[in-house]
Chain A
Amino acid sequence: MSTRTVTPARASTRRGARQDFVTRNFGVLSILAVLAVLFVFFSVQTDAFLTSNNLVNVARQVAPTVIVAVAMTFVITTGNIDLSVGSIVGLTAASLAILAESRNPLVALMLTLVLGAGIGLINGALTAFGKLQSFIVTLAALTAVRGVALLITDGYSTPITSDVLLPIGNGKLAGLYTPTWIALVAVLLGWYVFNHTRFGRYVVAVGSNAESLRRAGVDVRRIQLAVLTLTGLAAGLAGIITAARLASGSSNSGTLFELEVITAVVLGGTALMGGKGSIVGSAIGAITLGVISNGLVLLRVDVYWVPITQGLILIVAILLNAKLFGRISGQRG
C-alpha cells in the first residue's frame, strides 16, 4: 500500500464539493426555506409569535416529534417504516404513571424505556428475521399496542406526582425546557451516528441496495432489527416526556403521532423508498410542523386549519423537492 507512485485522482474539487453540498442537502435547504418563510410570516402577522416565551414553548412542544423523527429517519432510510410509534407513546406514557405509583421513579423510568425498546425489538425481529414487511408488522403493533394501553388503564389517565419524573417534562436549564435539551442531544447523536459511523453508512446501504450490502459481508437483518428497536426506544422516551409534561399518563397520548413524525421526516428530504435521509432535515421538518400549529393558533384562525395547512405544506415541499431536485442534481434514473 505504501509503494504507490501513480499520481492519484483528486479526491475532490472545490467547485464539485460545493455543488455536491447543494445536491445532497437540497431537501434540508428547501424545508429550511419553508420554515424561514413561515417564521417571518408569523412574526409579522402576530405579536406573540416572536417572543422568547413562545419560542421556548414551541421548542418544548416539538421535542417528542423531533426525538422520534430522528429515529424514524434511520428506519425510513433503510426503506422500512414504523407505524407503531404513536401507540408506543400511549402505552409508555400510561405505563410510566402506573409503574411510578408503586415503584421507585427511576426504576419506573428504566422499565418504561425497556418496554418501548422491547416493542421495537419485536417489530424488528418480525421484520428482519420473520421476513415480514415492516409496514404490516408495525400496523399490527399500532392497533395491538394501543389496545394494551387502553386495557391496562381502562381508558383512564393516571396522575404523576414524583418529583423525579416531573422535571423531565417541566424542568428548565439555561432558559430551555428539559425536553428541548433531550431533543438537541438526540439530534446531535443521531447526526453523528447517521453520517459518521459504519452503522449509519449501512443504514443508507440497506435502503439503497440491501443485497449488495449483504454480499459485502454485512448482516442486513441486524441493521433492520437495530433501527426498529431504536424507534421503539425513542417512542418510549417521547411517551415519558409527554406524560411528565402533562403530569399524567394517558393511554390516549400519541394518537396520530406516527403520521406527524413520518410527515416531519419526509418534509426533511428523507426518501420513503430508502437510501437517502437527513437527520437535520427531519428535525427541521418537525419544527416546521410545530411552528405551523403554533402560528395558526396565535393567528386565532380556526384550529381545524392546522392539519389542512400541514398537509398542504407537505404536498408543496414534496413537489418542490421532486421537481427541483431532479433538475439540480441531474441524477440519472
Chain B
Amino acid sequence: MTSATRDVSVPRVEMRGIHKSYGALDVLRGVDLTVGRGEVVGLVGDNGAGKSTLMKMLAGAVFPDAGEIRVDGVALTGSGPRAARAAGIEMVYQDLALCNDVDVAGNLFLGREIYRPFSRRLDHRRMHEEAAQDLATLHIRIKDTRQLVANMSGGQRQAIAIARAVTFEPKVLVLDEPTAALAAREVEMTLQLIRDVSSRGVSVVLITHRLQDLFEVADRFVVLYEGVNHSQLKPSETDLGGLVTAMMGK
C-alpha cells in the first residue's frame, strides 16, 4: 500500500486518451474514464462502441495504442493481466474466461493456485475447501467443486466467473454482461452483490444490456458512442428513454 492509496483526492481508476485500432478499424479514439472509490459506473453504448475493449485494457488483457491508465494514481498502462490483478482489478469477461477442462476450484484459483513451498505440490484440499466456502458465502449453489466446468449450466458458469472476480477482494470490479445467462433471482443477487461490494469501497464498472438494472445500482452512466465519450448522465437526471437516445449518439 503506497500513500497514494489513502489519498482520497486521487481517483481509483483514471483512464485518459485511450486509443485502440484493429487494422483499419478505430475501436477507441481518445476515451476518458474516471471511477471513484465505491462508485458504480454504468458503462453503456451501442454494440461496437468500444465498452468491452476499454474494460479489457483496464484488466490488462488488451494493450492500448495510446493513452494512460492509472489505478490509485499509479501508472498501469500496458503492464498485462498479472499486474492488473496485483493492482486489485478483477473482471468478469463477457465470455466468462473459464477453462472447461478444469474443475470449479481450479477455475476459481486459476493463476493464483495455493501450493506448498518446498514440494511445489498444489494444495488441492485447501483450494477445494476454500472454493466451497467462497461459493457458499456468495449463496452460489454448486454441490461439488470437483466438477468440471464443461458439465455445468450457463448460469452456474456465470456464477463461477463472478465468484472468481469478487473472492480475492478486488479494489475495482469490472462486470461485462454478468447477468446474461442468469435467472431473475440470480440477477437480483448479482445486483445486491454490486451494492454490497461498492458499500465496502470497491469501485464497480458494469456493462449490461439490461438498462433497467443500471438504474438500480449505478451512481453514474458513462455513454460511449463509436469509440469516443458521448456523455455522462446521472440516473436521477434521466430515464430509460434518455439513456437509449444517448446510446444512439443523439
Contact = CB atoms under 8 A, between A and B. Distances in A.
B110 A331 contact: no
Interface in A177-229: 192, 196-198, 201, 204-205, 207-209, 211-218
Interface residues of A, number: 38
A213 B110 contact: yes
A13 B144 contact: yes
Question: What size tier do the contact residues of chain B reach?
Answer: 35 or more
A17 interface: yes
Nearest to B115: A198
A209 B98 contact: yes
B146 interface: yes
A10 B143 contact: yes
A10 B145 CA distance: 8
B97 interface: yes
B85 A217 contact: yes
A276 interface: yes
Given A6-B136, A9-B136, A331-B151, A212 B110 contact: yes
B238 interface: no
Interface string B109-136: 0111101000011101100111111011
Contact of B111 (A6, A213, A331): A213
B132 to A, nearest CB: 4
B132 A9 contact: yes
B136 A197 contact: no
Interface string A1-37: 1001011111111001100100000000000000000
Contacts of B144: 9-13, 16
Interface stretch (B40-48, B100-108, B211-219, B239-247): B100-108
Interface string B174-187: 00000000000000
A8 B132 contact: yes
Nearest to B139: A6
Contacts of A11: 125, 128-129, 131-132, 144-146
Contacts of A201: 102, 106, 110, 113, 122
Contact of A208 (B101, B121, B128, B142): B101
A330 interface: yes
A177 B33 CA distance: 67
A332 interface: yes
B100 A216 contact: no
B221 interface: no
Contact of B122 (A13, A196, A205): A196
A197 to B, nearest CB: 5
> Across chains A and B, which 5 residue pairs bring their CB atoms closest together, nearest first?
A216-B111, A217-B82, A275-B101, A208-B101, A212-B97
Interface of B: 59-61, 80-82, 84-85, 91, 93, 97-102, 106, 110-113, 115, 120-122, 124-125, 128-133, 135-137, 141-148, 150-151
